[in-house]
Amino acid sequence: MIGEARLSVPIGPSDHVRGSANAPVELVEYGDFECPSCGRAYPIAKHVLEKMNGVLKFAFRNFPLTQQHPDAVNAARAAEAAGLQGRFWQMHDILFENQEYLDYESLLQYAVELRIDANRFARDFRSPKVERKVLADFESGVRSGVNGTPTFFINGIRYDGDWSYYSLLQVLQSVAAEANFV
């Protein structure tokens, strides 16, 4: 269930994190906004985080698989551009909830819906800073042994098991119990 590969870059200030900053259990997902499997994992991760409120810290890192998903890089850039205006998680959710519409015009529309400054969003979307962030996430995934999406790491160790809701929840609760937090 828990793999041998380790997370090469621990959760840090450049990561987008949901949950308690001091949580004893960390879940990192390397994902692709256009990936159907990531689309199925999205509500699972969200519900697991809600269930383990206060005990789980969740970080999402971009791992766009451009060969299979031509809009994945632009979706990652949109999430990061939104993040520069404090709306990463809102854009993250919209992208997963609208995976079939990830063209540039749709991404701009999502920014408008989120009341993001559209001009700044368009500039940030194309900025070297956003490009570096997406690339840094991807490269950290490669160094960590990620070769597909979604790939999860639990407290720094790759989780190769079933990521259905009850399976993932059970593993995370076991890790929390070992840390005496459940």
Check: CB of residue 4 under 8 Å from CB of residue 158.
yes
Q: Which two tokens stand for residue 134?
A: 């997406």
Span 44-86, pLDDT tens digits: 999 999 999 999 999 999 999 999 999 999 999 999 999 999 9
Q: Examine residue 176 and state whether it is found in any structural domain, yes or no.
A: no
Residue 64 domain boundaries: 2-8+27-168
Q: Examine residue 17 and state whether it is found in any structural domain, yes or no.
A: no
Q: Examine residue 88 and state whether it is found in any structural domain, yes or no.
A: yes
- Which domain CATH number covers 121? 3.40.30.10
Pairing of strands 157-159, 25-31: unpaired
Q: Examine residue 101 and state whether it is found in any structural domain, yes or no.
A: yes
Bond prior to 128 in cis (omega within 30° of 0): no
**Count of other CB atoms within 10 angstroms of residue 76:** 29
Q: Is the pLDDT of residue 168 over 80?
A: yes
Q: Is the pLDDT of residue 146 over 80?
A: yes
Q: Examine residue 62 and state whether it is found in any structural domain, yes or no.
A: yes
Q: Examine residue 115 and state whether it is found in any structural domain, yes or no.
A: yes
The label of the residue with tokens 């990061």 reads: 80
Q: Which residues pair with 28 in a beta bridge?
A: 59, 153
Span 105-119, pLDDT tens digits: 999 999 999 999 999
Q: Examine residue 15 and state whether it is found in any structural domain, yes or no.
A: no
Q: From CA 145, how far away is CA 4, in angstroms rounded?
A: 10
Q: Is the pLDDT of residue 181 over 80?
A: no
What pLDDT does residue 2 have?
A: 57
Estimate to the nearest angstrom the gap between the alpha carbon of 78 and the chain centroid.
13
Number of domain units in the chain:
1
